Chain A
Amino acid sequence: MSEIRFISGDEAFAQGVRLAKPQVISAYPITPQTIVVERLADMVEDGSLNSEFVHVESEHSAMMTAMGASAMGARVFTATSSQGLLYMAECLTYVSGGRFPIVMMNANRATALPWSIYGDHRDSLSQLDSGWIQIYVEDAQESLDMALEAYRLAESENVRLPVMINLDGFILTHTYEAVEIPSEEDVRDFLKPRETWDKLDFDNPVSMAFTVGPELNEEFNLLHHKAALAAIDELDRIDKEYAELTGRSYGGSVNGYLTEDADYILITLGSISGLVRDTVDELRAEGIKAGVVKIRMIRPFPTDELLKHLENVIAVGTLERDISFGYEGTVYTNVNSALHKGRNFADSYDFIGGIGGRDISKEIIRECFEAMINKETDRLVRFVGLEVEDDVR
């Protein structure tokens, strides 16, 4: 029997992790991730989670400890944010290249400087090439559900890759919502204990995380790439199975809203998606054919799945909390590549906002649609919600 509780995004994620029963948790505190690991520590203390909680002295060691435990065949969890993610960055490629199916929660937070504890996506998007699967969630319920789905995905035999689940710092991590928490019985068959042949084994000793010279290195990277691509269909299957179990489905790698006949579509990541859907409802009432596509999984990039939603649009806008200085937002770069591959020549705009915790209001979202409707193609890339004029031309 599930129960409904009023909890924050961080707490919801911790509840999902409890149900996933990781045998090892290794994490280092950083705002706004801390509540996840505090709750898990409480659960280990009160016996509701039978897990080894390791007190590491840094994020670098958090990920290295996670790798060691995963190499023994254990299910492992860690969590971080912002500078912590960057501090463990070199370990991310060890873990993905070594095919260790670790699940990590990342509380999205701005990267210094200027120093800020508030949210944007520059931390995780800077690690798109780390070889990890990256998923962004929208609310507390999706946080809990994805903690479970992430382990299924990471440990799938055709994937065997680490998964990073991203929650918008404060906006999602610290906001309280009613969340349905499945019982252990509910999810027992959905997520079984980890079983793997790919581990250090006294009956069959192996060397892991080895060196490969130029004669074969590229082939190992090809295997990694194929495994990452397999995650698109795998997440879809897992999502459908989870829907049968709980009645909740999130649409796999992308989630479209009123896209079928839409002229103007705004692409989103994470917690802003709900407000954009509300705005779309208002625009629809005004006779404007607006729609939303939430990219849930940005690595692997769901090119075909995204393009299906964009077939008939006049213009598409990417609303993102990221800027690759001197260029454009990274999500936009990815979206444009997909459009080009699909020979889709709709106007494509980049709306950069919500940086360093800046609020993205309904008015700002309307501005994005207005720019598309007014064909303001002289400014395809722009900051929105600025306190100063965006004089970049």
Chain B
Amino acid sequence: MSDRINARNISDSEFFYGHKACAGCGGSLAVRIALKVLGERTLLVEPAGCMSAVSFNYPQMSFANNAIISAFAGTAAVMTGLKVGAEAMGLKDYHVLGIAGDGGTADIGIQALSGLIDRNDDAIYICYDNEAYMNTGIQKSGLTPFGATTTTTPAGSRVKGNLRPKKNLFEIVAAHGIPYAATASVGYIEDFANKVKRASEVKGTSFIHVLAPCPTGWGVDTSETVDIAREIVDTGLWYLAEYYDGEFHLNMKPKALEGVSHYIKRQKRFKHLSDEDINTIIRERDKTWERIAKFGN
């Protein structure tokens, strides 16, 4: 395999700029880095959602590479279309990339994603997960974590926000027998960049689930995005892993799974949670780690 990407050798070229994303947007960071890794010969699809809303406002287009919007549920299907269309036109040496949010992937887009993986079309799907429908104003998605208040799971005296855990999207994708899948976080950006690179070298479909905080939706300062995206990994509430050759591999095991309380309490979306609720979150985290401990390293 080729050399690892790091801060010194990553491309100076920019393909995503002049967009209207909020300050501190984790999703736009993921898009920017992914395109720096993949380069100008990338055919990009984005469905309705934050990233398309901030970047395709005629006549101000924010992508230096070829890009197209799909219907909300259609990211993966347009990826297939671009791939077979490019083949039909005899094009060589390019990447097909789809980038959709958590709702666009785990909820409305999951059927098309399943179809893409089933066909094993040579394309890279990145889910940037900010844990709710942020573009429409912070509504619950299938990847909203337990306890988070959203505008459709408002925390009050009777209900403490969202009562369901995140869907296990990574393992749902892996269960298809996909050639390459990974989890990542914008807090560990070098790891993410190298996973994008690895995905681009895989023949067939690859998938990366990258955690990308939304300061607006999470209730943190815009300067905290990267820090909190690291902290969620360090507390063990999110993990960095890969799936290839039919096996799971854990990339990083935090020394001590500590600091959950700090992680929870620094975010407005969790401010209503009691110590007992935090203990529930810790218990669920421990169950997850019991399971993923069986992953290889």
Interface residues of A (CB under 8 A from B): 23-24, 26, 52, 54-58, 60-74, 76, 90-91, 94, 200-202, 205-213, 216
Contacts and interface: CB of A to CB of B under 8 A. Distances in A.
Nearest to B75: A64
B67 interface: yes
Contacts of A56: 77, 80, 115
B88 A24 contact: yes
A240 to B, nearest CB: 31
Nearest to A200: B66
27 contacts: A24-B81, A26-B84, A52-B87, A56-B115, A57-B114, A61-B115, A63-B74, A64-B73, A64-B77, A65-B81, A65-B84, A67-B81, A68-B80, A68-B84, A70-B81, A72-B88, A74-B89, A76-B85, A200-B43, A205-B67, A206-B61, A207-B56, A207-B61, A207-B66, A207-B68, A211-B58, A213-B57
B274 interface: no
A231 B146 CA distance: 55
B115 A209 contact: no
B114 A73 contact: no
A25 B88 CA distance: 11
Given A61-B111, A207-B56, 14 more contacts: A26-B84, A52-B88, A55-B119, A57-B115, A63-B74, A68-B77, A70-B81, A70-B85, A72-B43, A94-B70, A202-B41, A202-B66, A202-B94, A208-B68
Given A64-B81, A65-B80, A54 B119 contact: yes
Given A64-B77, A210-B61, A57 B85 contact: no
A69 B82 contact: yes
Interface of B: 40-41, 43, 45, 52-53, 55-58, 61-71, 73-74, 76-89, 91, 94, 111-112, 114-115, 118-119
A213 B20 CA distance: 14
Given A94-B71, A200-B68, A68 B88 contact: no
Contacts of A206: 61, 66-67
Contacts of A58: 111-112, 115
A64 B118 contact: no
Contacts of A94: 70-71, 74
Contacts of A62: 77
Contacts of B83: 68
A205 B40 contact: yes
A245 B66 CA distance: 40
Contacts of B67: 205-208
A366 to B, nearest CB: 47
A69 B85 contact: yes
Contacts of B65: 205
A57 B74 CA distance: 11
A208 B76 CA distance: 16
Given A26-B81, A68-B82, A69-B85, A60 B74 contact: yes
Given A74-B89, A211-B53, A213-B57, A60 B82 contact: no
Given A68-B45, A73-B89, A200 B61 contact: no
A91 B91 contact: no
Nearest to B80: A65
A208 B68 CA distance: 5
Nearest to B82: A68
Contacts of B82: 68-69, 71-72, 200
A334 to B, nearest CB: 28
B71 A71 contact: no
A303 B40 CA distance: 48
Contact of A68 (B40, B62, B85, B114): B85
Contacts of A210: 56-58, 61, 69
Contact of A72 (B56, B74, B89): B89
B77 A209 contact: no
A119 to B, nearest CB: 28
Contacts of B89: 23, 72-74
Given A60-B112, A202-B91, A206-B66, A91 B71 contact: yes
B58 to A, nearest CB: 5
Given A64-B70, A205-B63, A207-B68, A72 B86 contact: yes
Contacts of A63: 74
A142 B242 CA distance: 55
- Give 4 nearest A-B pairs by CB, closest first: A68-B81, A72-B85, A64-B74, A69-B85
B297 to A, nearest CB: 35
Contacts of A76: 85
A91 B67 CA distance: 18
Nearest to B76: A61
Contacts of A52: 84, 87-88
A69 B114 contact: no
Contacts of B81: 24, 26, 54, 64-72
B112 to A, nearest CB: 5
Nearest to A206: B66
A65 B58 contact: no
B68 A68 contact: yes
